[in-house]
Amino acid sequence: MSDAQAPEALPAGNGSDFRARVERLLTDILGLMGFPARIDFKDASDGSLSVALHFQGEPPPGVEPGKRSQVVDSMQFLLNKMLHRPGTERRFVLVGAGIHPEPRSERLKREQAAAATQAPAAPAPQPQPAPQPRAQPQAPAPRQEKAPARAQAPAPRQEKAPAAPARPSDSDERSLEVAEDPALREVARKLAEKSASLGRFYALVNVKQEDRARVMKAVEGVPGVKVSCEGEGRNRRVVFTPAKPAPLPKRSMLPEDDDEDDLEG
């Protein structure tokens, strides 16, 4: 989340220079994020270009080697948008953390095969029981007088166990009591001040509820910016909204090409 100039988009193409274009764009994006990585290329079975990112040090928050994440998926979407300008031939690029990602077509086949093997087999038909001979009617038994019911003693009253304290919901970050983290407090206040001074919108994703509460407490009193939590579950995030938003420069805006179905990984 830096105010440095965004990497310039390059036209997509075929040949040996396509990997050089992808490597240059990824290097610029990772450099602006502050997480440099070694880039490894491989031609995927479906014709796409597979890229494995081996981070030099700790990976970005929310990224685990060998697993998909919102950060890597967003990076993959942005990279393909910058490569695939309207009117150019497209070659999709897959991005993975620590490993080469599996192509979408192969992943769907594997998931369908696993679902087919786990489907329960149809139960075998059960044999019908043989019909039983019809019983002959019997004479009614003599009626017996019921003895008066005895009064029963009332059952002892059971005391209810005290209910367990309710866990704070996602909307209770401001009221949640957490220990202060000096490093997180400094970063959160700097980000809030930068949002107010530059007029930029920022968001922190993949953050635990306790850390969201620490960020909300840390930015109290910073002028010119409103900080709130939005979303539910794993999509909940901390959003920094400046009081005076500034428009983005034209060279950093994405093209008006929203054909996202062709760019799904």
Do 101 and 95 touch, CB atoms closer than 8 A?
yes
- The range of the structural domain enclosing residue 205 comes to 170-247
Do residue 106 and residue 23 come from a single domain?
yes
Asked whether residue 34 is domain-assigned, the answer is yes
Mean of the per-residue pLDDT values for the chain?
78
List, for residues 146-161, the tens digit of each pLDDT value. 655 565 656 666 666 5
The pair of structure tokens assigned to 215 is 């960020």
Q: Does residue 5 sit within a domain?
A: no
Do 179 and 94 fall into the same domain?
no
The reported pTM is 0.40
Asked if residue 92 is part of any domain, the answer here is: yes
Which of 95, 110, 125 is a domain's end point? 110
75: domain CATH number is 3.30.300
In the chain, pLDDT over 70 holds for what percent of residues?
A: 68
- Overall domain count for the chain: 2
CA distances from 205 to 57, 95, 186 (A): 20, 19, 18
Same domain, 177 and 103: no
Does residue 31 lie within any of the structural domains? yes
